[in-house]
Chains A and B, each alone.
Chain A
Amino acid sequence: MHYILLIVGAALVNNFVLSRFLGICPFIGVSKRIDTAFGMGMAVIFVMTLASFVTWLINYYLLDPLGLQYLQTIAFILVIASLVQLVEMIIQRVSLPLYQALGIYLPLITTNCAVLGVAILNIQLKYNLLDACIFAIGAALGFALALVIFAGMREDLELNNIPRAFRGTPIALITAGILSLAFMGFSGLVK
């Protein structure tokens, strides 16, 4: 039950994109088509979970005992960057079209504040290893959900006659804001 609450909390109530406003870059950048959004979502789930796992271990078994907590940020970024490189290589091998479709946004997961955010939050919220990983999975699922929903909306927006001044990013941002408002409806769902 505790784990379900963790996931629901991370995915819906405090959605990383729509409530915490992290990871906006890939959110706006990759959400033009549903299939690329889905691919990006899967990549982020992989990176977030693995990154949380490794960074938690590094924090509690390497940094803490040696009193090097101040290295947290740089160490975490190192780990995340390498993981993203790994994911890039894997995706390029497994699905070249997806790799090309994600383009620049795949390496951008590195500087994605959502991934670093999860890693740091795990430490701040004092989760144990299992909780940290489940939290990361929930967060990533929420990220993927927000991405895919938004992509669906943008695909439909493409077919409408948007006034010239709003075309492209402006209407996307307005829609994202309204989607955030919608997700506010989840607040209070999990105590």
Chain B
Amino acid sequence: MKTFKGGIHPPENKILVKDNAIVELPLSKVFFVPTQQHLGAPAKPVVNTGDTVKRGQVLTEPMGFVSAAVHAPTSGTVKEITKRVHPVTGLLAPYIIIEADGKDEWAPGLPLERDPFSMTAKELLNIIRLSGIVGMGGATFPTHVKLSPPKDKPIHTFIINGAECEPYLAADYRLMLEQPERIIDGARVVMKVLGLDSAIMAIEANKPDAIRLMQEKTPPEIKVEPMKVKYPQGAEKHLIDALTGRQVPSGGLPMDVGALVHNAGTVAAIWDACALGIPLIERITSVTGQGINQPKNIKVRIGTPLKEVFEFCGGLNDAAKIIFGGPMMGIAQYCEDVPVMKGTSGILVLTEQETNLNSYQSCIACGRCIEACPMRLVPSMLSRLGERSMWKEALDFNLLDCMECGSCTYVCPANRPIVHFVKYLKTLQREAKAKGKEA
């Protein structure tokens, strides 16, 4: 089976939630919609306090090409536009708070009924852009930008990412089992946009029923490829390496090797946008972990407060850590007043036993991290440089190629928080760069 160099095998823990069918969370009374749910330039609100909004109505205007709009998750009134804690940065960021009117009325004309395959690639790309679709694997990169590579970097390999390599998460898995048509049709739309006549769907071998189902359902032009179960197989650079043998160059992007990867959820959202005109306002999220009483895979609108998700899932039980995303690359939350966002692939509620709160020791130069690193870096060196804030030397060790996957931290016998050191060094480098620009 195809794979890449390095990587680790953490316990899957998907059993907690993988056999739970998707359930829809009942509509909340208040929705907290952050204006920044994507990587890139901010988007400014185009509604004011007191405005009535309908479900799917656009709420913000992107301030640049690499940016995305957000849309109203339900109908109601704009209660307030203010700053609240953002789940990704932990700092204050602008939010549009909507008080739902309970009617859940669509914006006029929605949902549409149209045939994406009779539209041009350009039209489809425009729809994707206006629908605020971003990478739903968690990175939230604006999809229309990914689908617009420069002319000198054409795409000839399109990969649908059904790997879901993070432990605990099963949202994409359930989506594949329960709504395969949305994924397949969305993939065909993307193929139309890119002008390709074939695509690969990658699914990790720990999901044999999904593989079988997809193999049945996919048309011949979409090949289903079972992947060796290893973290981080779902990382796009490693999918490309495993499937095509091509390596994205240091500092480069998948388009440099003519490849493009989309998460299965993103592709399903693309179908909704192109065929039904529905913008990205909801997603499937796995709420799991030993600390939540009833783990579920929920269909949830963006902006839904975390408290309501917890209530719906039976409440917390000895929770020590709450993570948005997976346990390897997710972001721990310190505040319960945060909402579900476009990129929230999972909500983990972990007990103390499931986390690692131990202190660390000096690097013993055992080399386990070097074996594990999927980007072929020397994490032990980066951690030692991080202890001494030596970011310039770290750049020589390809600091910026680190994708912070956490494999090194997971295997370190001295329990060193290597990814933390890397993030710290990157912060120092960014600050120095900004200062240099000012000077």
Contacts and interface: CB of A to CB of B under 8 A. Distances in A.
A142 B388 CA distance: 33
Interface of B, secondary structure class, is: helix
A159 B362 CA distance: 10
B362 A160 contact: yes
Interface string A41-65: 0000000000000000000000000
Contacts of B384: 159-160
Does more than half of chain A's interface fall in helix, strand or loop, or is it mixed? loop
A159 B388 CA distance: 8
B381 interface: yes
Nearest to B364: A160
A161 B388 contact: no
Contacts of A159: 381, 384-385, 388
B354 to A, nearest CB: 29
Interface in B371-424: 381, 384-385, 387-388
A160 B419 CA distance: 18
A167 to B, nearest CB: 13
Nearest to A161: B362
Interface residues of B, number: 7
Contacts of B388: 159
B352 to A, nearest CB: 28
Interface in A4-30: none
B363 interface: yes
Contacts, number: 9
Interface string A132-174: 0000000000000000000000000001110000000000000
A160 B362 CA distance: 7
B422 to A, nearest CB: 15
A160 B361 CA distance: 11
Nearest to A159: B384
Nearest to A162: B362
A160 B381 CA distance: 10
Contacts of B381: 159
A161 B363 CA distance: 8
B201 to A, nearest CB: 44
B383 to A, nearest CB: 10
A161 B388 CA distance: 10
B370 to A, nearest CB: 15
Contacts of A161: 362, 387
A137 to B, nearest CB: 34
Contacts of B387: 161
Contacts of A160: 362-363, 384
B152 to A, nearest CB: 40
A94 to B, nearest CB: 27
A159 B387 CA distance: 9
A159 B393 CA distance: 11
Contacts of B362: 160-161
A159 B396 CA distance: 15
B405 to A, nearest CB: 23
A160 B365 CA distance: 10
B412 to A, nearest CB: 15
Nearest to B388: A159
Nearest to B362: A161
A160 B384 CA distance: 7
A5 B103 CA distance: 94
Interface in B343-376: 362-363
Nearest to B365: A160
Nearest to B383: A159
A73 B388 CA distance: 48
A177 to B, nearest CB: 20
B377 to A, nearest CB: 16
B160 to A, nearest CB: 43
A159 B385 CA distance: 7
B325 to A, nearest CB: 32
9 contacts: A159-B381, A159-B384, A159-B385, A159-B388, A160-B362, A160-B363, A160-B384, A161-B362, A161-B387
Interface of B: 362-363, 381, 384-385, 387-388
Given A160-B362, A160-B384, 7 more contacts: A159-B381, A159-B384, A159-B385, A159-B388, A160-B363, A161-B362, A161-B387
The 9 closest A-B pairs by CB, nearest first: A161-B362, A159-B384, A160-B362, A159-B385, A159-B388, A160-B384, A160-B363, A159-B381, A161-B387
